[in-house]
Structure formats: structure tokens, C-alpha cells
Structure 1
Amino acid sequence: MIKERVVPPVAKRVPKTLSIHNDTRIDDYFWLNQREDQDVLDYLNAENAYFEEMTAHTKAFEDNLFKEMKARIKEDDESVPYKYNGYWYIVKYETGKDYPIYIRRKDTLDAPDELMFDCNEMAKGHDYFKLAGISISPDNTKVAYGLDTVGRRQYTINFKSLVDNEPITDTIENTTGSASWANDNATLFYTKKDEETLRSDKVFKHKLGTNESEDKLVFHEIDDTFGVAVYKSKSRKYIIIACYSTLTNEYHILDANTPNAGFKVFQERIRGLEYSISHFEDHFYMVTNKDEATNFKLMKTDETKTEVSNWVEVIPHREDVLLEDIDIFKDFLVISERSNGLNQIRITRWDETDDYYLPFDSETYTAYTGTNVDFDTEVLRYSYNSLTNPASTIDFNMVTKTKTIKKEQQVLGGTFDKNNYQSERLWATADDGTKIPMSVVYKKGVKKDGNSPVLQYAYGSYGSTIDPYFSSIRLSLLDRGFIYVIAHVRGGEYLGRNWYEQGKLLQKKNTFTDFIACSKFLIENNYTSPKHLYALGGSAGGLLIGAVINMAPQLYHGVIAAVPFVDVVTTMLDDSIPLTTGEYDEWGNPNTLEYYNYMKSYSPYDNVKAQDYPHILVTTGLHDSQVQYWEPAKWVAKMRFLKTDTNKLFLKTNMNAGHGGASGRFEALKEDAEEYAFLLDLENITS
């Protein structure tokens, strides 16, 4: 009996006219933005049902992939302890459990465990669960923490006693999840979100034992292109309010010993002036772009004279080195830099008697400073990994210059040997002649004859750099002959701040053409062919995927776009949508004609056309606060109506999650297995 062909769902077309700048767009699927509408939910569920039926033949393989991935993970695991304010803090995982357990031990690691949170118990009854923003009072007796049980990143702050482990009745709704204690152990500062846009815009002061309604507003950010955060300096002397936008920063400071005093502006905002602040003794240190320091420089100022006119240069700007961050210790300053795309960690003594770099000799790797909350120590904690080396947590003695590997990620299952894998760095040439780096990994013995499958990944926005990192999950592709490529396209900061500037605003298309140039390089050099090349990107990386398959669909056999930002023009014109106003400096403001026209020329949804597309899997979450679910839903509906091929096109919506997908560590693995099964099925790999 011949099985009847499964017919994909067809979204109804309800034309809506959108007009601005004497230009009219017709959006047939605008109606999909009604989250509570039954027709919308029915459509999303129909797409899910279609996906399940069309991939039913891969479900057994998908389950095997999940078990394979899970088997590599050490389930009964725990973090390397770190010490803060007299206690050692540890995060544990237990076999078969999805969520972390937070414990601490007083003074020594031999002390008995004090249970703070068992998230496995707390998550019961919730489809989604996220605990964040754990903040311990200075006297170590109380803890504030944020809970999100929807996935929309609107956290409720809760409190409990660490003396008797009993809850404290105070609760605060609709926050970012984090809170900072003043030194009186009774006053907290926290950030609230706008109910509609979800922009963090207000800082409140809460007195323990009072109702939220009594909390005092201490700062309101009225500029809707800015967000705010509040935190405590590592020196524990200051409560700091950070106001941030893409191009501009402003900080307000308050002595943590006087929580009822007023905040003081550190340096009022100047458009284009970016800076961050760190406190040490009687000075503040600023990583800043002041005076056109594109790659940033380090400056300092007296803590009583914080205006920019008082700032003094400590480390000058360098054209070829990006200054990313600093870590301050009692006797040492640690500087995180990036040169030619590679991380560097520089250690210098405050008394200037020593200045050196940690040695790294791999061709492509990732190294970064870790949890360094202890101020009075000569030990720096940092992490190191590469495409072939599992992550290591290392304690480095900055005096003796000796290192102790505290933990190396274990890859269980008995088959992994890092010597069986090869990594390299390649350089493609973009349309404008720019060299675009790629980090590549594959299993030794893979032939470069044009027949190997390649999964090419990129992000390319916000100056966010995707470093070459190890993934035990990725082994399920490498061991089946896949080559994995990270394309370090413009829009990230891999090659410095200018690398970012060349991939945003009116140069955004460089991000897409760089990715295409990398794909062509891989094909021309026989790493793969269009029959075996796959592309992957999420969020702003999903925008990249959407743009690329409009521009060069013939290069790819299949793509995955996770929570993709694809309806750029309509979203950026709607200032009620979360993130919109804060991102004008990233994408441009389409209320201005020049930016409107440029966005419209690449927006994936606006540029879907009648042409052949590769096989496509699109994923989203109903409660996504970053990229609203209707963007990918509309995009899939429009592609399904216009595309001229018979290739697979799937929309998978997690009806119980947001931007980050499922919350449990193994539930998230199931999503990875689902995506891998989609790719492997296209390669006719079934085991």
C-alpha cells in the first residue's frame, strides 16, 4: 500500500498594508503575531505535527544520537570550587537529573556541605525552569535569587535564610533576576523590566521585610535606546548602576556602606564614549574607547574625581590588539586581549616588577579568565580549550608562574582521543578583498575530495566573537565524517573592533557576503560541495542564514536557523517589541529612509522570492523574549508559499520555552539530537 503524501500546513493569507517613506509592503502573515489567538496556536501546532510526521523515520536514530551525546557527559559532576567571603561555592550535578544543585562549605573544602538550592526539586511541576542571579548577603546569612518558569526572562526575585534554609516571604516580580546587597545586609538594589518591551529600565531599592510596593525608585532610564543593570564592585565598596546602549555607557556609583544616600554620576553619557569601570584601592580603572581608541585602552582616575577630564592613560591604544577586559587583584592586574583573532592573557604587577603573557601555542584555541571573585590572592583562574581539546579549568600562580589543572572536561564513552582530530585555521577572500578567517575541525583521515559533509556556523553581530571551542556533542557529527567550520565573519570582533564596525549598520551585508565567501572557499578547495554543504546560525545568526539562502541558495544542501531574527524591517519599526529601541545602533533606525532602504534590501522575510531553496529546519520558542516566535513562523509560511522546490521545510516551535530553548541539560540535548538527525538524514547517514 502506497503511503499518501503528507501535505504541509498552509497558513492563511490575510494581507496587511505597511506603509512608511512613501513605500508600501504587503505582509500576508502579519496576523501570526497574536500569541493568544487560537488560529495562531493551531497553525504552530500543525507545523509541529507536520515536522513530527515527516521526521518519524529518523526518531529512532534521533533517540540513539541523544543517548550517544548523553553518554559522553559525566552526569555526577561538579564545578571547581571557588572561595568568596569565607565560603567555598560548588555547583553539582547528579546522575539522571536535569538541574544543578548549589552547595557551599565554610572555610575549608573538608567542611560539611550546606545545601543552598536543589533545582531538581524546585523545577518539579514546571515545563521550564531557570534559576539565576544568586546573591549572598555580606554576612553570609541570606540569599536573593531569581526564578523564571516561563522562559521569557522575566524573573521573580525570592529570598531565603541560609541559617535555617527557610524562605523569607519577600518577593519582587518582573526583574532581570539579579540583586545587589548593600553592606548593611538588609538593603538590596535590583532592576525591573518594562512589562511590554521587557527593557530593563528602572533600579529600585528594597528593604528586607517590606512589601515590593514600598520599594523606592532610585533610577529611571528614560532613553528607550538604553538598558540598565545594577551590581557590586569586586572591591565590595560600591553599588554600581550601569546604563548601556550599543555605542554609549554611563555609570552611577554609591558607597555600599551608605545605601540611603544618593547615587553619583561617574561620567555622564557622551554619545560614542564607551567605558567600563573597575575599582581598586582609591582609583577606578576604565576600559574605554576615549579619543578614538577603536580597540580600547586602559585609563584610571581618582575615585573622588571620576569625570572624563581626570582620566589618565595606563595602557595606550594599539591598532593591532583589542583590549577586551581586565581582572583586578591586590598585587596584580590581569589584562585580556585579542591579537590576530587569538586570546591573550597578560599579567602585570601593580609595582611594575613583572609583566608577562601566559604562553599558548596552538594554531586556534580559546582562553579566558574564569571565576576570580577573591581579591587578595596570587592565583588566577582561567579556562582553556580548543576545537580538539576539552575544556580545562586552570589555577595559575602569578608569583611562581606555575599552573595546576583543577579540572579537565571528561568525555566518557571510551572512544574519544583528542589525537584523532585535526584543527586548522583557513582564510577565505571576501568580495572586497578582505581575508576572512575560519576555524576548522575534523576527524583525521577525512578526505578533501569534495564529498565530505561540512557544517558551517557563524553568528556575526553585536561584536560577539564565537571562539573555537570544544564540544563533546559535536563529536556525533565529526565521527560520522562531518567537517565543522566556524566562519569568523565581520560583525563579530574576532579581528578587533573594526571587524565589528565593518559588519553593522550600513555595512551589515558584509556579514552575509563573508559567509558566502567562506562557503565558496570550502567548495573550491574540495572540503565539500554544494551537495554536502550545510549552514547553521541562531538568533542574529539566524538572520545571517536567512539572508544567505536568499542570496546564494545554490551553495547549500540544507540549513538550520534557530530562533532566527528574520523580519528585520517590521520588528525594527515596532518600538513595543522587546529589544527594538536598544538596537538602533546595531541595525539602524528604519524611521530614517536610508536605514529603511538598506534593511529592506537584506531582511530575509522581505526578500523571500520564487526560487529553489535548500532543505530548511527552523526552530523557535513560543515565549521567546529576544526574537518573537512570529518572525520565524511568518518566514516559513512565506517561503512555503513562494519556493519552487520540493525540498524539506520545517518549523519546530517549542511551546514551553523561550530564546534559549529547553531548560534542563538533557532536554537541551534532545534539541541538539533533533537538529543533528535532520542533517545526517540529508546525508543518508542513518546510524
Structure 2
Amino acid sequence: MTAPRAAQKPHVHLMHSHQRPDPYHWLRDDERADPDVLAHLQAENDHSAAVLKANADLEAQLYGEMRARIAPEDQSLPWWDHVWQLRERTLDGQEYALVEGRRSEEAPWQLLLDGNQLAGDANYFALGDMALSPDGRWLAYSTDHNGDRSYSVHLVDLASGQPRAEAFPQISGELVWGADSNSLYYLTLDDSLLPYRLNRQVLGQEPEVLYEEADNSFWLGLGESRDRQYLMLSAAATLTSEVLMLPLDGSDPVPRPFWPRREGIEYQLDRLHDRFVVLSNEQAPNFKLLTGSGADAMTERQGHDPEVLLEDFDLLDGALALTERYQGQARIRILWDQHDALLPWEGAVHDVWLGHSDDTGELVVGFQSPVQPPSLYRIEADLSKTLLKTKPVPNCDLSQYRCQRIEVAARDGAQVPVTLMWRQDSFRQGQNPLLIDGYGAYGISLDPGFSQARFSLLDRGFVLAVAHIRGGQEKGRAWYEAGRRQHKWHSFHDFIDVTKALVAKGWGAADQLFCEGRSAGGLLMGAVLNEAPGLYKGALVGVPFVDVVTTMLDDGLPLTTGEYDEWGNPNNASDYFLMLSYSPYDNVRAQAYPHIYVRSGLHDTQVAYWEPAKWVARLRDLKTDQHLLLLETELEVGHGGLSGRYRQYQETARDFAFVIALAEGRLG
């Protein structure tokens, strides 16, 4: 079956006296309307569909299994938002949740929003934010219908149930009401779709700009203080942040910084009952916790610990809850004025987080593991836990599955954590197919969460591994620093070394190794496949950031200027040549590659569709093998792929069918 070949058109990038030929540069179309480009993407889609037709029955079986593990009906815990109690409810066969509300616990629930009606026939739909006015009259919400992270604002009069016609610009998603219930705050987007302006819109009037971010390496975020007295405007770059405060009663129209930004200093802030709480990394790489009555009256409550990363907190009456990370594991500490205590949990591999804390002030925490579905607990005053809800997982015997955390040595001696999952009755040392997932960027930790879809692989004898490589933050801030900018090669070497170590320890068969990564994890895949192509039988690569140098030289793209501290600034020669050394597109060479299945989204604003399209085109031109190379571009969605509680598993089923068929010799 002949794969499509993209035409080569002469184009050369020149930087630092270095020429980079880019014959597939023409595949970039910012308007996403060029007929030649769309025809090529469609040809790739048609080729993928033709090849994967052989997997149709397996795909359908996998999708059926995943769908059967979704409870037909479910509902969230109720929560209070001003004068409304809210809940989300899902119904059998419906993709999206209903949002229901009532003004007292004795009143019947009434439908406020139906996500299915809002989504219509779109392949992608997201409800960005939902904000109730303090008086309970107005419901404002934001929606995205193609995954480009540009949201439309809608307004409903809950007294009549009718929408209000109000002109809003496209926004970043977040919404905050003023105390008067007549003014709405939101963030608008610049030409690269980054949030850069804070607007206040009094209903019936034109919006007023209250703040504009002048530094294009920063992006804005919006929220409320815990006591709902202040709008909290965050301005953040990779390594620097600032929080500006604005009274929601309208007494001061100017957002003012709690602490002015200083390069390299990050902090997050909240307030309750005239008490401020701050997490700051000033002279504390793993962060420290401070409390006090104002910016000039803060004292240290939890000091810096080189072994413990402080990540998040929630304010309570008389106490606060703090999320920490120690030896790769998240944990929760409760702090009172004079003492503190850790919440105990069973199991060596798990994830815990601070749950939705509503206007009641109760502390709710979440718990999950790879073999235990998410559960929510209310934490009582004596630290006992009351189970509130466990996510139902029908048609699945969870007792059949096991998980374990190990560490393996990288080539420089660093101990890399690895989370492993398998089915107990199908493990055969050194014989199982092994799928390894990784990310390793932005300080994002791949926590050991629950995914019911994985059991379809485990049931077929796969062992699954998550490599917690450098560039993530599983082992603290130093672990992140060791995998960014000039240390980026550590991420790639860690992944390769983990793969080899797992084979040596018998966790998988040497000829049945598969790898997986999305977004920055797609960059990981591209670099690893260039460096160690013979190690893997197949690769799943989603929305991959693979044209690193070209993208980071274009400051008109959404994430470029804000990520110089993550990857480097290629306008500087040293950064340019370092990034060039690992950029997957620039390092494709004439060698044999494994089977590769690549996914992208036409409306992706985080990793533009042309990056994977160009990468696949160059791979086709240079690779020396006859292995499968498939590119599938979803033409109506963005970075996150298909949405919907059922539909999202169509992509997962297709991905899993690809590696299962390869492992069983039915494909390729």
C-alpha cells in the first residue's frame, strides 16, 4: 500500500551563519485553508484508514470494553457556589454532563446547562468555566468548539431561564463576577491566542481594559481569593510569576501586585479572613510557605526542605491543607497554628490531591492509584476520613491488577522512578509486551493515576510503565532543572536507559517494546527514536512538538516567547545549536525506524499541525525500512483530540489496537 509523499519545495532557514533546508515548510498554513495542504492531510488520513482497516474488529472490541467500564449514569458531589447548590450529572449514552442547581437542599434540582445541547454535532466541546453571580441571578459560562483554547462567553438569566444577548470578545475561558453581580471580569487573547488583557464588562456596556501584560513572555490567569473578596490575576512565565489583586467590590479599579515580579521568583497566593498565605521559591527551590496579614508582614510557616517539594494549598477556618511531594509521591499535610500532621494513606503507589473546596469550607481530598479508581474523602477534625464518593467502574475486577514503583539507574547514576502496572495472572518474566510512557518537561509530574482504558492492554498481557524522567518534578525542583535547557538530553537518555533496564529486569520482552508520548512527550519520542530506533517495535506519538528550532524562532506562535526558559532562545547561538542537536525534525536520518503512529489536530494552537506533518514527510523520505508510518490529523479538533466521555475512547481504542496488532504479528 503506497503511502502519500509530500512534495519537496526549496526553502532554507538561515540563522547564526547556519543553513537548515526545510523542503516541507510549505505545509504550514496559518489559515488552515490551503487546498494543497488540506489535500495532503486528507491523503495521509485516507492512507492511515486503509492500513488500519485490518484492525477494525479489534478496535471495535477495545472500544466496547472501554465503554462498558463507564457507569451508565453518574453524578458529582454537590457543591455550593454563592446561593446555589450545584452538581454535574451524566446520563446513559450521553457524551457530556448536565449541570443542575437548586437554592436550598430541600428544593428540587433544576437543569441549568446541558452540555450535549451546547456541544451539538461538534467533534470537540469544552465547557471552560461556569460562574454564578453573587446574587444568584446570572450564570456566565464559556465554551470552546474546536480545541483552539479560544472561548465564547454566554450569559443566562436564571430568574427567567432565558439567555441574555450580550456582546463579548473571545476569551481565555476564566470568568469572575464582581460583588455587584452586574460586572464580569475575563481575559482576552492576543494574536497568538495568549491571554494578555484583563477586561471588566458592566452588563449592557462596552468592556473596559483594566490591565495589559506588556511582556510577551508572560501569560495571564484569573481567579478569586478564597474569601471571594479579591480578583486574583496571575502573570506567569516559565520561571517567574506575580499575583495582582483587585477588590471585587469595585473600590479600586487598578490591579496591584502583592509582591512585584522579580526574575526567577515564583509565588502563588490566597487569602481568607484577612490572612494571606504564599508559596514562594525565594531562596527556596522546593518552595516555602509563608502566612501573614499583608505583603510586608509575612512570616515563614513551613520552611524549605531540599527533599520535599511544596506544590499547592487550600485555606480552611483555623487551618490549611498543603500538598507536598516526597520521594516521587504526593502527600497532604494539615497545618494548624502550632502543629501539623500528614494524612496517612495505604499503598506504596498512589496519587492524592486537594479536592473541590466550596463555600462550606469543608476539606475534601482525592485519592487514586493505577489500580484504584478516584475516591473523594471529607477530612474530619481528628484527621479521620469519611468516604464521600468512589468513581464506579463496572465490568472490571480490579483485584486482578497490580502496580509497583521501582527506581532504575540512568547512565550518569541518577535514580529514575518508574511506575509499573500488569495483570497478575498474565505476567511472564521477560516475555510480556511492554509499553513505556514518558513526558519530562515543564516540571509536570506524571502521577500514578487511574485509567480504566489501560486494562484492555493489561488483559492482553501487556506490562505498562511510566518513566518519571528528568524534566518532570516527581523528585523535586532539581529533577525539573536537570531536564530543561542545557540539560535537556537527560530526559532522552533517561527514557532510553529506563527501557533497557526494564528489559534487563525482565519486565518486558526485548523484541516487544513500545513507547508512547504526547505533546512535549512527543518531542521525547522523536528524539528517542532518532537516537535508539532499533530499541522499539512501535511508537504512539501524539501532537508532537518536533520542529523545535523553527517553532522557537517564531515569536508569533502562542507558546514561543513564554518558553525560552524551558527550551532556550535560539536567537542565541549556544541555545540554537543545543536545540538543533535534539530537534526531531532536524535529526531524522537515513536509518531504520520502528512502526510509528502519529496523531495531530488541525486546530491545535499548542503544537501546530504542520510540525507532525513535516516530521512524517521527512521520515518517509529518509527512513530505510518498510515499517508502518501513519499520520492521522483530526480536521475539527485541537491539542486534546476528540472530546466526550465515550467518544474520547475511539482514539484510545485505535492506538491500543495498533500496538496490540503489532505485538501479535497481525499488522506490519
TM-score range, shorter chain: over 0.9
> Secondary structure in 2 aligned to 1:184?
coil
Gaps of 5+ in 1: 1-5
Match of 1:443 in 2: 423
1:661 matches 2:641: yes
Match of 1:149 in 2: 145
Gaps of 5+ in 2: none
Match of 2:387 in 1: 405
Distance 2:525 2:10 in 1: 26
Aligned-pair distance for 1:104? 1.4
Aligned CA distance change for structure 1 residues 300 and 404 (closer, same or farther; 3 Å): closer
Match of 2:323 in 1: 336
Q: Deviations over 1:110-136 (max 9, x none)?
A: 421121100111222434322211111
Distance 1:151 1:173 in 2: 17
Distance 1:142 1:150 in 2: 26
1:68 matches 2:48: no
The within-5 A match list for 1:21-40 is: 21-34=16-29, 35-40=32-37
Distance 2:665 2:350 in 1: 30
- Paired residues of 1:191 and 1:204 also in contact (CA < 8 A): yes
Distance 1:132 1:171 in 2: 18
- Paired residues of 2:436 and 2:514 also in contact (CA < 8 A): yes
The within-5 A match list for 1:144-543 is: 144-195=140-191, 197-210=192-205, 214-258=206-250, 261-291=253-283, 293-303=284-294, 306=295, 310-350=297-337, 352=338, 354-374=339-359, 377=361, 379-397=362-380, 399-413=381-395, 416-543=396-523
Aligned-pair distance for 1:80? 1.6
Aligned-pair distance for 1:240? 1.6
The sequence identity of aligned pairs, in percent, is: 38
Q: Which moved more, 1:452-461 or 1:263-272?
A: 263-272
Aligned CA distance change for structure 1 residues 141 and 48 (closer, same or farther; 3 Å): same
Aligned CA distance change for structure 1 residues 446 and 127 (closer, same or farther; 3 Å): closer
Distance 2:391 2:292 in 1: 41
Distance 2:421 2:146 in 1: 36
1:615 matches 2:595: yes
- Paired residues of 1:463 and 1:491 also in contact (CA < 8 A): yes
**Equivalent residue pairs, number:** 665
Aligned CA distance change for structure 1 residues 47 and 356 (closer, same or farther; 3 Å): same
> Secondary structure in 1 aligned to 2:75?
coil
- Paired residues of 1:623 and 1:659 also in contact (CA < 8 A): yes
Match of 1:3 in 2: none
Match of 1:591 in 2: 571
Match of 1:137 in 2: 133
Distance 1:125 1:387 in 2: 33
- Paired residues of 1:530 and 1:554 also in contact (CA < 8 A): no
The residue type paired with residue 184 of structure 2 is L
Q: Deviations over 1:175-206 (max 9, x none)?
A: 112111110111111100113x1111111110
Distance 1:264 1:424 in 2: 48
Aligned-pair distance for 1:446? 3.1
Distance 1:52 1:407 in 2: 41
> Secondary structure in 2 aligned to 1:647?
coil
The residue type paired with residue 228 of structure 2 is R
Distance 1:558 1:173 in 2: 44
Q: Deviations over 1:452-495 (max 9, x none)?
A: 01110011110000101111110000011000111100111100
TM-score, structure 1 as length reference: 0.95
Aligned CA distance change for structure 1 residues 686 and 606 (closer, same or farther; 3 Å): closer
Q: Deviations over 1:360-417 (max 9, x none)?
A: 131111111110123x54x3211111111111111121x133322111122112xx22
TM-score, structure 2 as length reference: 0.97
1:80 matches 2:62: no
- Paired residues of 1:159 and 1:171 also in contact (CA < 8 A): no
Aligned CA distance change for structure 1 residues 432 and 561 (closer, same or farther; 3 Å): same
Distance 1:93 1:240 in 2: 32
Match of 1:17 in 2: 12
Aligned-pair distance for 1:311? 3.3
Pairwise CA RMSD = 1.4
The residue type paired with residue 194 of structure 1 is D
Distance 2:301 2:58 in 1: 57
Aligned-pair distance for 1:505? 0.7
